């Protein structure tokens, strides 16, 4: 008899354990969907309130707010509960104080996660909840009632969240539950309250240099958000906040400044970058010297810029007996031999490099034939 009883107790306890596991898995699933549904962007800064206060008014005997800190303890599975006993002018209010004022007026969002332990959430049911912000003790006069445009319901319709952007700076958020507007719902859970930083903050862009005639794709310089927040769009222009460039690939002919605007949720940050255009070295020595066949060709290349390095190459030329030649200086000293009686052009390709910018120029040397000795015919 006792063995059967023990067996029944074990079966009961096992069944209860499975029910608890199932309950926790359902809660976990709701929380996963909740976090995904709230649309937070990776890296976005979240600021939780640092303290709270409550206010209970009207004929509200038995009204209360329980587990107050759990509404802003960073654990979305815990909550405070606003308990309202319907009475004349009755209301229950929980206010949340943020540690700092938001610096991004009109960009930062407030997120409130609600839960209902006893009834399905609907916009009509939550119509008895009003939210308002304050800057210090001064109201921003922005009180709104929760409606369908603000409320996003999650699976099961007993949990949902509200997101809104106050148009003024704020340090305090008030959530007020009033009688007469709430219908059948007489308590509401507040799972979480926090502020989302909506203002992008870009890293600085280091200056870049290109050689005259080169192009650069400005999109390769897109700066990251200091908080690693993604999801915005970049727009490059020639002036701050100006019209977008036709292409992010540009070829400035002189040093220029370009601006990028990173916009997200209607808020933006601007950064500039200086693109320095480095000049190319020009060959300033003669481009068309001449020399007689069989005599030494001595040539010194000169540049329009200081700190220039030189190199040159010469291909083999038909009817010039010299093999191919090359050098790594600005000097040429060699004897060119023309095997014909007509002038022949020999091309030297000089490459001048200054400050990392190379430029190649042809030097065309006319090699005149060596005069023949006069032919004397004997009589």
The span from the CA of 357 to the CA of 281, in Å, is 8
Indicate whether 250 and 327 sit together in one domain: no
For the cut 50, the answer to whether the pLDDT of residue 140 exceeds it is: yes
Residue 15 lies in a domain: no
Residue 59 lies in a domain: yes
Rounded to two decimals, the pTM is: 0.63
**CB proximity list for 320: less than 8 A, separation 6 or greater:** 336, 337, 338, 339, 344, 346, 367
Q: Are 131 and 143 in contact (CB under 8 A)?
A: yes
Indicate whether 226 and 129 sit together in one domain: no
CATH of residue 267's domain is 2.60.40
- Residue at a domain's end among 157, 174, 196: 196
> Checking phi first, is residue 226 left (phi over 0); if not, alpha (psi -120 to 50) or beta?
alpha
pLDDT in tens, 267-321: 889 999 999 999 999 999 999 999 999 999 999 999 999 999 999 999 999 999 9
Tell me the mean pLDDT in the region 227-233: 80
> Checking phi first, is residue 213 left (phi over 0); if not, alpha (psi -120 to 50) or beta?
left
* Structural domains counted in the chain: 3
Indicate whether 254 and 226 sit together in one domain: yes
The span from the CA of 60 to the CA of 107, in Å, is 37
- Residue at a domain's end among 278, 305, 330: 278
The domain in which residue 244 lies consists of 208-278
Indicate whether 179 and 101 sit together in one domain: yes
Indicate whether 48 and 107 sit together in one domain: yes
**∠ CA 208-209-211 to the nearest 5 degrees?**
155
Indicate whether 259 and 169 sit together in one domain: no
Indicate whether 270 and 221 sit together in one domain: yes
CATH of residue 143's domain is 2.60.120.260
pLDDT in tens, 244-266: 999 999 999 999 999 999 998 77
Indicate whether 119 and 265 sit together in one domain: no
């Amino acid at each position: 008899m006792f063995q059967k009883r023990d067996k029944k107790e074990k079966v009961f306890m096992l069944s209860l354990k499975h029910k608890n596991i199932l309950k926790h898995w359902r809660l976990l699933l709701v929380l996963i969907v909740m976090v995904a549904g709230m649309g937070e962007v990776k890296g976005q800064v979240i600021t939780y309130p640092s303290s709270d206060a409550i206010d209970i008014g009207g004929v509200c005997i038995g009204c209360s707010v329980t587990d107050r800190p759990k509404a802003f303890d960073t654990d979305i599975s815990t909550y405070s509960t606003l308990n309202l006993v319907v009475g004349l002018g009755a209301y229950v209010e929980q206010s949340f104080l943020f540690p700092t004022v938001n610096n991004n007026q009109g960009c930062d969002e407030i997120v409130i996660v609600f839960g209902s332990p006893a009834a399905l959430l609907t916009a009509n049911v939550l119509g008895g909840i009003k939210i308002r912000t304050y800057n210090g003790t001064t109201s921003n006069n922005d009180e709104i009632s929760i409606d369908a445009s603000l409320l996003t319901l999650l699976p099961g319709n007993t949990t949902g969240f509200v997101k809104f952007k106050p148009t003024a700076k704020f340090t305090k958020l008030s959530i007020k539950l009033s009688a007469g507007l709430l219908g059948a719902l007489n308590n509401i859970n507040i799972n979480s309250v926090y502020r989302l930083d909506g203002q992008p903050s870009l890293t600085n862009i280091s200056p870049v240099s290109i050689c005259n005639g080169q192009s650069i794709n400005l999109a390769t310089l897109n700066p990251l958000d200091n908080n690693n927040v993604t999801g915005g769009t970049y727009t490059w222009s020639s002036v701050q906040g100006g019209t977008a460039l036709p292409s992010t690939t540009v070829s400035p002919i002189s040093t220029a400044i370009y601006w990028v605007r990173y916009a997200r949720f209607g808020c933006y940050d601007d950064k500039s970058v200086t693109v320095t255009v480095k000049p190319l070295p020009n060959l300033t020595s003669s481009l068309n010297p001449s020399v007689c066949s069989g005599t030494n060709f001595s040539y010194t290349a000169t540049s329009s810029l200081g700190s220039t390095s030189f190199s040159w190459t010469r291909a083999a030329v038909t009817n010039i007996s010299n093999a191919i030649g090359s050098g790594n200086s600005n000097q040429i000293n060699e004897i060119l031999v023309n095997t014909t009686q007509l002038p022949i052009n020999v091309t030297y390709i000089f490459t001048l490099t200054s400050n990392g910018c190379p430029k190649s120029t042809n030097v065309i040397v006319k090699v005149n034939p060596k005069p023949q000795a006069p032919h004397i015919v004997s009589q």
